[in-house]
Amino acid sequence: MLISPAYAQAGGAMGGGFESMILILLMFGVLYFMMIRPQMKRAKEQKAMIEALQKGDEVITAGGLLGRITKLSEGYITLEIANNVEVQVQRPAISLVLPKGTIKNL
């Protein structure tokens, strides 16, 4: 008497394989469009911004330093952060390019 309902429940659960596969694919699609795609777009924009840097641009680094670019090399950028004070940072450390004339006291 107790075994027969157990068989009936097991038989009904096995038929849900197709629906669960569709649910997994739907969840992956939502994850892709909500998280992965926007992150890839932001990374692409950041890379383009770093490649377009020029001497004289005013930037903010990831550490919060504000400065004007004085020298560019392949991997590093030299920033003037005050009069006669220059620091070198890696190119990926640049987080934002400011409009010209933002930094007044340099």
pLDDT at 11 over 90: no
Phi, psi of 85 (to 5 degrees): -125, 115
Evaluate if pTM is beyond 0.85: no
CATH T-level topology, domain 53-98 = SH3 type barrels. (2.30.30)
Q: Which helix (H) or strand (E) holds 86?
A: strand 85-90
Per-residue pLDDT, averaged over 86-106, amounts to 90
Residue ranges per structural domain of the chain: 3-49, 53-98
pLDDT at 87 over 60: yes
Q: What is the pLDDT of residue 4?
A: 57
Reported as a pLDDT band with limits 50, 70 and 90, residue 6 is low
Q: How many CB atoms lie within 10 A of CB 80?
A: 17
